[in-house]
Structure 1
Amino acid sequence: MIIPKTREEIELMRESALIVSKTLGMIASEIKPGVTTLYLDKLAEEFIRDHNAIPGFLGLYDFPNTLCMSPNAQVVHGIPNNNPLQEGDIISVDCGAIKNEFYGDHAYTFAVGEIDPETEKLLQVTKESLYVGIREFKAGNRVGDVGYAIQKYTEAHGYGVVRDLVGHGLGRKMHEDPNMPNFGRRGRGKKFIEGMVVAIEPMINMGVKDIKFLRDGWTVLTKDGKPSAHFEHDVALVNGKPELLSTFKYVYEALGIESNEEDEFRQA
Structure 2
Amino acid sequence: MLDKKTPEEIKILREGGKKLGQILRQLVEETVVGNTGRKLNDRAEKLIKQAGGVPSFKNYQGFPAALCVSINDVVVHGIPTDESFQEGDLVGLDLGMQYKGLYTDTAITVGVGRISSAAEKLLFATKKSLDLAISQLKVGGYISDIGQTIEQFIKPYGYGIVRDLAGHGVGRQVHENPSIPNYYIGRNSVKIFDGMVIAIEPMLIINNNWRIKIKNNKWDVVSQDGSLTAHFEHSVAITQDGPIILTE
Distance in structure 2 (CA, Å) of the matches to 1:167 and 1:18? 20
Q: Is the 8 A contact 2:139 2:239 kept in 1?
A: no
Matches within 5 A, 1:123-162: 123-162=123-162
* Unaligned ranges ≥5, structure 1: 248-268
2:224 pairs with 1:219: no
Deviation at 1:85, TM superposition (A): 0.3
1:74 aligned residue = 74
- Is contact 1:19–1:97 with CA below 8 Å preserved after alignment? no
Identify the residue that residue 210 of structure 2 maps to in structure 1.
209
Q: Which residue identity is paired with 1:54? A: V
Normalising by structure 2, what TM-score?
A: 0.97
**What's the CA shift string for 1:109-167, capped at 9, x where partnerless?**
00100000001000000000001111232122111111111011112210000000000
Q: Which residue of 1 aligns with 2:192?
A: 192
Number of aligned residue pairs: 247
Q: Specify every segment of 5 or more residues in structure 2 that has no aligned partner in the other structure, as ranges.
A: none
For the Cα contact (< 8 Å) 1:142–1:186, is it kept in 2?
Answer: no
**Which residue identity does 2:27 align to in structure 1?**
I
Instruction: Verify the 8 A CA contact 2:87 2:113 in the aligned structure 1.
Output: yes
Match of 2:103 in 1: 103
Equivalent residues of 1:145, 1:185 under 8 A apart: no
- Work out whether residues 138 and 192 of structure 1, in 8 Å CA contact, stay in contact via their aligned partners in 2: yes
Contact 2:96 2:105 in 1 (8 A): yes
Match of 1:44 in 2: 44
Q: 1:185 deviation in Å?
A: 4.1
Q: Percent identity?
A: 40
User: Which TM-score applies when normalising by structure 1?
Assistant: 0.90
Comparing 71-80 and 23-32, the one that deviates more: 23-32
- Root-mean-square deviation (CA), in Å? 1.0
Cα distance between partner residues in 2 of 1:163 and 1:187: 17
Superposition pairs for residues 234-253 of structure 1, below 5 Å? 234-239=235-240, 241-247=242-248
SS at match of 1:153: helix
Give the Cα–Cα distance (whole angstroms) in 1 for the partners of residues 46 and 26 of structure 2. 11
Say if 1:73 and 1:225, in contact at 8 Å, map to a contact too.
yes
Hey, what does 1:24 align to over in structure 2? 24
